[in-house]
Amino acid sequence: MVKIATASALFCVAQASTFKVDWTDCGDSATHAKVTELSPTAVTTGKATTLHGKGTLDEDVKGATFSAVIKANGVQVASCSGDASKDIVCNLPLKAGHISVKAMSFPLKAGEIPVDAEVKLSSLIPASLAKATSHVAAVSDTGDKLVCLDIKTSKQQPTFDEWAAEYGINGDDARENYNSNVLVVDELNARDSSATYAVNRFSGMSHEEFAAVYLNLKQRPTSSTDLPALEMLTESAQIDDAVDWDVTPVKDQGQCGSCWTFGVMGAIEGLNKVVTGKEVILSEQQLVDCDKDGINDGCNGGLTDYAYKYLTGKDLFTLGSYPYVSGKSGHGNSCQSGTPSGVSISGYLTVDGAGSGSRGDSALATALMTGPVTITVAADNQFANYHSGIMTGVPTQCNLNHAILATGFGPNFWKIKNSWGSSWGDAGFAKFERSTSGCGPFGIFFQDAGFQPKLASMNVLV
């Protein structure tokens, strides 16, 4: 059962480009043919490319059947099968192209045999199909394993010059950092079949440079056990299988370490939209400039619960009247006034975490039944280079450095909204696995699992 669904799904595409081809012989000791070669190692979208393969066969074969299963981001998207003496074609969804296994001429004699396939990808590939694995198998007419071949296609990262031209960045340091980041992206794509990773506007920075600006969430100086706790649903109540809140648009914190302000304002905006059906866009600049309590410090980082304390009972200004400018300047300004939005909070609730992955998982799911939740993560290279799908194999260490907004969940993932603009990730959003190991995925249950605002007009969260 779904609590509430977003209005529509965004269709993200990768522009016409080159896709890398990797292959693996997946046969075992009982497989009679071993694939030894497959080329070329890249295909260009918009046209068909034949992959010429060779293998060695250890016995004569009179006939066989082929089968192929295609998975993208770990999910099966197509399958086909048929007589191996004829081409079999697997059509990709959304008219994204096809992958076909070319016919073999029977009878086959022991020795070298051809193992050919054809790949045709549309010039515009949905992000969900940007990385795919085609598992090809053949069984002889006597029931023996004949061939096993995995063909992996993934979008090839642009050259430094192509990337630099797109983002207007250059220099030897940027080139060196970019080339290093491409290796990281390639390794992530090879390791995680459930998600795709890609270079982005941050790829000219070293991870240390990136972290200094974007991953500077402050550490809580004292325990938050005195904060109000979110009551858990009773055992008789049921948590839905999936929730996907329609929140306000993605924003961009720019060259300012103000993630903490976006995680908080995004939750207030989102909950107000859930409750009233109205979209009111609030000013993060108000927090950057005005919340100076010795902990929260504008572009130098802050804490989300301290931001909620500051905002409680105050007028929250609209973004239009108090625009966000620190993304360009990299610093805050003197506190100003703006137009009251009509939205205010009377407090906030704490979602239990306290280092327990299992307790935090159920607590966060319970809170998300009501509306979006401000959470914090330990973002790393995997998080920073995310493009689409569900991140798996994520770290579960007990550490935090970045504030974001949890907007939903499914049986095996959390969905979040980030503050790095709509060009990052899946139109500014991301999904990562639900894990109860350690302190949870990306450390989200290290301290509190999150914070949820109480709108001033609400006596209780509804």
Query: Is 267 in contact with 258 (CB distance < 8 Å)?
Result: no
Predicted pLDDT at 16? 59
E strand spans, 84-144: 88-91, 97-101, 111-114, 117-121, 125-126, 131-140
Using DSSP, state whether 271 is helix, strand or coil. Answer: helix
Contacts 24+ apart (CB under 8 A), 202-207: 202/384, 202/420, 203/163, 203/177, 203/178, 203/385, 204/163, 204/164, 204/167, 204/169, 204/171, 204/173, 204/174, 204/175, 204/177, 204/178, 205/174, 205/177, 206/177, 206/180, 207/381, 207/384
Burial of 142 (0-12, 13-18, 19+ CB in 10 A): exposed
Quick one: pLDDT at residue 359?
81
- Return per-residue pLDDT of the chain as tens, 462 residues: 334 333 333 334 445 588 999 999 999 999 999 999 999 999 999 999 999 999 999 999 999 999 999 999 889 999 999 999 999 999 999 999 999 999 999 999 999 999 999 999 998 888 788 899 999 999 999 999 999 999 999 889 999 999 999 999 989 999 999 999 999 999 999 999 999 999 999 999 999 999 999 999 987 765 444 545 444 433 345 788 999 999 999 999 999 999 999 999 999 999 999 999 999 999 999 999 999 988 999 999 999 999 999 999 999 999 999 999 999 999 999 999 999 999 999 999 999 886 655 688 999 999 999 999 999 999 999 999 999 999 999 999 999 999 999 999 999 999 999 999 999 999 999 999 999 899 999 999 998 889 999 999 653 333
d(CA 107, CA 97): 31
At 214 the three-state DSSP class reads helix
- The tens digit of pLDDT for each residue in 124-138 reads 888 788 899 999 999
Q: Could you give the domains of the chain?
A: 18-155 (2.70.220.10), 160-188 (no CATH), 191-455 (3.90.70.10)
Q: What residues are labeled active site?
A: 259, 402, 418
Residue-wise pLDDT tens digits, 279-327: 999 999 999 999 998 899 999 999 999 999 999 999 999 999 999 999 9
Which of 94, 138, 93, 92 minimizes the C-alpha distance to 118? 92
Torsions phi, psi for 172 (to 5 deg): -65, -40
Instruction: Single out the residue of 136, 141, 98 nearest to residue 115, CA to CA.
Output: 136
* Single pTM value for the model: 0.86
Q: Is 253:424 a contact under the CB 8 Å cutoff? A: no
Which pLDDT value is given to residue 63? 97
Distance CA 299, CA 287 (A): 10
- pLDDT digit string (tens) for 12-63? 444 558 899 999 999 999 999 999 999 999 999 999 999 999 999 999 999 9
Phi, psi of 200 (to 5 degrees): -150, -165
